[in-house]
Chains A and B, each alone.
Chain A
């Protein structure tokens, strides 16, 4: 049987979910026997592959790069997992929504609170423009599984991957598996 093609994607989040994934420690060796990691911040792959079985998507949709990326991920992925609270709820990444617009956020950060040289960074094609509102993944593309937590604990991540490796769909319930935060 062909190995399951796994991808992990890092959008608007702190990478804490990916750190928690790494906290699976020696189980990661077992995992590498059962999956092909085809795209991830942990590896050198520039392009998101055409056919991915499972993708763990960390982070909310906060800028135009994320917006394009998540559509590409959805188009090429069988089973998309919103990985962690930022992907599921917006979480800390979305706190800036209270300020209303991208312009308001940039002004607050780079003008109002600047100490020395107040200016808004604008290098075209280098810094992707912010979206006015940070969005949870499921409000942009359909999501197959929600894996909450800030970050989701290694045991939570392991539970989900183990069920998927058995060819089944995980069903998450209870404090150990779905508690926010």
Chain B
């Protein structure tokens, strides 16, 4: 284990930049992500910073049931995020389509068909604390020793 890798591990453990993308939700999950910003949950004390800028993000939170216009845009957005990166599906919609996955619908889920999903947080919508703990649980497993594991 090199010193450089140790330094990277240390930095990455306290600095997680998050972007979220809404691919056709009802807004419930979005707003629960926003609620994480509130001083009550205080997402920034864990070093998580919600940016909403894919080019700076480490973790992408995907919300929503995958509507047709996102089919080519979501992989393009995923490609813009620099490695190491991970996507977390928030809510039932990206996992199964939730109530929208019925006859006559327009959605083309699940999201996992289009980009690799590292973790799923079910719930309609999940509580802010659940979203927060999912981000905190996924980040170390993906980012720790990333360069070593890759080679």
Answer yes or no: are A and B bound together in one complex. Answer: no
Give B residues with C-beta under 8 Å from A. none
Give A residues with C-beta under 8 Å from B. none
